[in-house]
Structure 1
Amino acid sequence: MPQLLGDQMAIQQGKQMLMSITPAVTSQFDQHPHRLIANWANHIRMVAGAAPLALAQAQKHMYKVIETSDVDRGTASWYGPYFHGRLTANGEIYNQYDLTAAHRTLPLGSFVQVTNRENGRSIVVRVNDRGPYYDEDSRIIDLSYKAAQILHGEDRGVMPIELVVLEARPAFPTTRPIAPQTVALNNTF
């Protein structure tokens, strides 16, 4: 499974590290690092006889998030070159090639899964800015250029989407563990 380890990406099988990939390596490819690690992990999964993961599935695993019941439908737009290099609402420098988004009310730093309703493509983005401020009745999120590109929505500028709010995956099981059975042992040798 794909993993994030600080600024590196890795592929793990259970607790076994199969490979790690530095930013220097990912920068040599013409793909977003999340897509790159998902593709590499899928090659390993297919060799092992496992089904490949969609990009959003791999991202949810990397970010350790799960879907909530908070779902919204509307349209998404994207913002790019004019804002590239400017400050976002959380103080980061906007990079149109990162997988980020602007939302009016969600907490900064939260993750959402956005699905293009026309083609079914999905991606997970992190909210780091505020907006959109145009067509507030139907437009619910502004995506980075790269996110819109992965969803195949960059040419039209606006696309119909479904947005699912994600939350941190519980660190421990949420169900109570079953108590172990006491077994009497016959200590005869």
Structure 2
Amino acid sequence: MTARQEIDLKHYIRHIPDFPKPGILFYDISTLMRNPDAWQMAMGRLARQVAPFKPDILAAVESRGFLTAAPLADRLGCGMLMLRKRGKLPGKTVSHTYDLEYGSDTLEIQHDAVQPGQRVVIMDDLLATGGTLAASATLLQKAGADVVAASVLVELTGLGGRARLGDIPVTTLLSYDE
């Protein structure tokens, strides 16, 4: 049996009930990141999933998307840009405001972060209801990017977030039905 077959990455995701509020089950990736073998395996698997999309740049969603996009961009030999909350980026920005379950939020990129037609893969840690990934795609498309895929470490399939991305392919490292 190879090392790739031996490591079940789900064993490295800690589940924390009632965080950040009662009734929410939090999927903690910090325990995966602390184990060097499991983290290397996760990055290798993500690289194999994302490479076929031939991205020019990875768009990392604040803040846990930064954790996967940076090492992955290095492995794939592509660039990385940051999707940040309003007011966190210097200089001229392009923004998109979107609705949340309770209120709204705004994502921004620097106005020159992506060139028209660049192939972009959006990276985040978790896909739940899909609102943030869908807003990220809208923002990047508004800036002229060709959003070719989205990739996450963990997907909560029962929440149907994938459907909010329309025809944008989504790759997932670990899926949970909860």
* TM-score calculated relative to the size of structure 2: 0.28
User: Would you tell me which structure has more helix in proportion to its own residues?
Assistant: 2
Higher normalized contact order (CA 8 Å, seq sep 6+, divided by chain length): 1
Asked which structure has the greater CA Rg, the reply is 1
